[in-house]
Amino acid sequence: MPNIKSAKKRVLVAEVRRERNMAAKTRMKTQLKKFAAAIENGDKQAAERELLASVSILDKTASNGVIHKNAAARRKSNLYKAYNQM
């Protein structure tokens, strides 16, 4: 347990950021699952809608530093590849 005031603050800030990052990752994973379900069902319109939403969420999580920008680019590439192979 920290005794110094600034160390106490860092513990609190780290906890807030951890929760925010977890929420963003959960949101991202849920959206990717929705896209995968649309692909599996073979619904092209739903897949396109979920693709655009997924790309948007990936960009947001990368811009917030939750995931690396190259990881977001890789995932987007895989999403487009799956969509084009429908």
pLDDT in tens, 6-61: 999 999 999 999 999 999 999 999 999 999 999 999 999 999 999 999 999 999 99
Per-residue DSSP letters for 16-65? HHHHHHHHHHHHHHHHHHHHHHHHHHT-HHHHHHHHHHHHHHHHHHHHTT
pLDDT value at position 86?
A: 87
For the chain, give every domain's residue range.
Answer: 5-84
User: Which residue shows structure tokens 């800030």?
Assistant: 13
Angle separating helix axes 44-63 and 69-84, nearest 10 degrees? 170
- The answer to whether the beta carbons of residues 60 and 69 sit under 8 Å apart is no
Structure tokens at 15: 């906890």
Instruction: Provide CATH code, domain 5-84.
Output: 1.20.58.110
How much is the pLDDT for 1? Answer: 85
* pLDDT value at residue 2: 92
What is the residue type of 3?
Answer: N
